[in-house]
């Protein structure tokens, strides 16, 4: 009896781990991502930025902004996309997804791409079999500022943020 339970647990543990790991990866994707200086130099652009917003009905909202070397705006548009997991080694910290844009105007990116996410380096790569289209790194400062702004603008959070401030006795006016 115990042997059967142990065998069931042995088979369930990797499944439970992979579901939890997948959920934590998906939570970490939200935020601001920027291309590296090396990528910008190779692509002859000054910057390429990606914002990944909330996921609703398995669709992510987001925004792409690409600025050329001459400061002309190349891409400046909202996007919507779907990510489908491409299973790899269950213990790997690197995740691969099939990215399908459901809403985008630019013709510079194909509608379907491979979306590689490295948890260890915090890097996203948009590519296909022939070409790398973008390499992004998480911009944690801007992401955290956005999270704080969302907390402040949320009415439920405003009530929680009201903390009475008491002035030290030295700063109070004497009557």
Could you tell me the CA-to-CA distances from 22 to 19, 36, 44, 57, 78 in Å, in that order? 5, 26, 35, 17, 25
From CA 62, how far away is CA 46, in angstroms rounded?
A: 20
**pLDDT, tens digit, 9 for 90 and up, residues 109-166:** 999 999 999 888 889 999 999 999 999 999 988 888 877 877 777 766 544 544 444 5
* 99: three-class secondary structure by DSSP: strand
pTM score of the predicted model:
0.70
> What residue segments make up the domains of the chain, in order of their start?
2-161
């Amino acid at each position: 009896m115990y042997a059967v339970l142990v065998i069931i647990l042995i088979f369930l543990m990797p499944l439970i781990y992979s579901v939890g790991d997948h959920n934590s990866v998906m939570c970490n994707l939200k935020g601001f991502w920027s291309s590296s200086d090396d990528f910008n130099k190779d692509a002859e652009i000054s910057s390429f930025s990606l914002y990944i917003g909330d996921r609703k009905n398995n669709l992510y909202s987001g925004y792409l902004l690409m600025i050329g070397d001459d400061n002309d705006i190349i891409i400046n548009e909202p996007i919507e996309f779907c990510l489908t997991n491409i299973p790899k080694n269950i213990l790997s910290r690197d995740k691969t997804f099939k990215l399908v844009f459901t809403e985008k105007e630019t013709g510079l990116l194909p509608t379907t791409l491979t979306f590689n996410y490295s948890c260890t380096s915090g890097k996203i790569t948009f590519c296909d079999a022939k070409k790398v289209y973008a390499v992004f790194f998480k911009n944690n400062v801007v992401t955290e500022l956005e999270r704080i702004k969302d907390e402040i603008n949320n009415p439920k959070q405003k009530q929680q943020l009201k903390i009475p401030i008491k002035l030290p006795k030295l700063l109070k006016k004497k009557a």
